[in-house]
Amino acid sequence: MSKHEIASEDKIAARVIETIAAQLELSRKEVQPEATFTEDLKADSLAVMELLLALEDTFDVQASDEEIDQMRTVQDAVQFVERQLAS
């Protein structure tokens, strides 16, 4: 993996975290990669759906129902966006 790819992935992760923090009205410090949306970040199912829609809009990607069901943590969301942008 090149330095450019690592820097790009860091930027993607930072932007995903910014989006999550803004949508859930949290500080960026609260939005850690291992944090779960419902338990750690206290998002209800509607807030999670709105968050996923915001990520789709921000990064111009689309998540399938299966991908949405599998996204439970901040890191899951980061990896989803990275995969979508890489394809």
Neighbour tally for 19: CB within 10 Å:
19
Is 76 designated active site?
A: no
**Chain-centre distance of CA 54, in angstroms?**
9
**Active-site residue, selected from the candidate residues 40, 44, 60, 65:** 44
Residue 33's nearest CA partner among 84, 81, 1 is 81
Q: Which residues are catalytic?
A: 44
